[in-house]
Amino acid sequence: MLNIVNVRKTFNKGTINEKKALRGVNLHLDEGDFVTIIGGNGAGKSTTLNMIAGVYPIDSGKIEIDGINISREPEYKRAKYIGRVFQDPMLGTAADMEIQENLALALRRGQKRGLGWGIKSEEKEIYHEQLKRLGLGLEDRMSSKVGLLSGGQRQALTLLMATLKKPKLLLLDEHTAALDPKTAAKVLELTNEMVTGEHLTALMVTHNMKDAIAIGNRLIMMNNGKIIYDVAGDEKKNLTVDDLLVKFSEAAGEELSNDRMMLAK
Ligand SMILES: Nc1ncnc2c1ncn2[C@@H]1O[C@H](COP(=O)(O)OP(=O)(O)OP(=O)(O)O)[C@@H](O)[C@H]1O
Ligand SMILES: [Mg+2]
């Protein structure tokens, strides 16, 4: 499904700020894989997701989706089949548009025609049904402006928008990190339901090691621009946070230093 071969990325090459963000990342995902990604600050997690989405060009290597090399495809083209949810609830939705208008735009992703023809009533029924699934009462506020929603409600809506038109790949970058613990747990539960229920292929960056173990079928650890640990199935399910810390120091040759991660232990 997704095939990343020896991808490298250096930012600000040749300057005093040169930073090798990815030093040869190799990753193969099968259809339906739900992979959690952990690692310290600056490990290259977000950069990996950004490279897949086409935010920046890669320096070398290749990225394939369904056997097609997309390495040179611009971001807007990849957006047709890649859904994304970021850490910041303000990104991903349009604040001054209605909930139903945001959903309608998500459904029309990749199409030329905008909202000029209005939203049909059949379509509204679909949105109503989908919003109801979130369990946040948003189905009764479809003509409210998104700017009026709380961060958690906005993240749940962004998640719905990212999956409304089934994406080939869903990229989640610490999408619950800015939410209060209760709301974060709710959005995470929704994520799990959507990804497993609709058999989506997804990569989810999290700094919460417990979540990384509990969710998905595979876990990847990154350090210093490389994948240093990759575990799946029962072996993943049976991991403990302490196991992860040991794996990290074995593979990285150093202790994991990431305050947010340690706090979320
Ligand atoms: N656009 C950019 N310009 C310059 N340097 C960048 C850019 N994006 C990322 N970097 C650098 O690349 C390295 C990897 O960053 P990245 O954001 O991928 O880390 P991360 O694993 O997501 O960390 P965090 O847990 O803090 O989000 C860091 O040193 C970062 O400063
Ligand atoms: Mg990041």
Q: pLDDT by residue (tens digit) across 129-175?
A: 999 988 889 999 999 999 999 988 999 999 999 999 999 999 999 99
DSSP structural state of residue 139: G
Nearest CA to ligand 1 atom 29: 42
Residue labelled with tokens 């807007």: 76
Ligand 1: centre distance to CA 41 (Å): 8
Q: What is the pLDDT, as a whole number, of residue 83? A: 95
Q: What is the pLDDT, as a whole number, of residue 204? A: 98
Task: Write down the domain spans for the chain.
Answer: 2-81+167-264, 99-164
pLDDT band at 180 (very low <50, low <70, confident <90, very high): confident
Element (H, E) at 158: helix 151-164
Residues contacting residue 249 through CB under 8 Å, at least 6 positions apart: 255, 256
Residue 12 CA: nearest ligand 1 atom is 4
Q: What is the pLDDT, as a whole number, of residue 256? A: 73
Report which bound ligand comes closest to the CA of 45. 1
Ligand 2: centre distance to CA 41 (Å): 7
Ligand 1 proximity of 46 Cβ (cutoff 6 Å): yes
Mean pLDDT lowest among 105-109, 112-116, 148-152, 186-190 = 112-116
In angstroms, the CA 118 to CA 241 distance is: 50
Name the burial class of residue 144, with classes exposed (0-12), middle (13-18) and buried (19+) by CB atoms within 10 angstroms of its CB: middle
DSSP structural state of residue 206: -
Residue 39 CA: nearest ligand 1 atom is 21
Q: What is the pLDDT, as a whole number, of residue 188? A: 94
Nearest CA to ligand 1 atom 28: 42
Residue 264 scores a pLDDT above 70:
no
Please write the tens of the pLDDT for every residue from 209-247. 999 999 999 999 999 999 999 999 999 999 999 999 998
Residue 9 CA: nearest ligand 1 atom is 12
Q: Which residue among 47, 204, 228, 261 has the greatest number of ligand 1 atoms within 8 angstroms of its CB, and so is best to mutate?
A: 47
Q: What is the pLDDT, as a whole number, of residue 179? A: 87
Strand partners, 129: none
Residue 117 scores a pLDDT above 80:
no
Query: Residue 255: phi, psi to the nearest 5?
Result: -75, 150
Nearest to 85 by CA among 141, 23, 159: 159
CATH number of 2-81+167-264: 3.40.50.300
Residue labelled with tokens 């747990």: 185
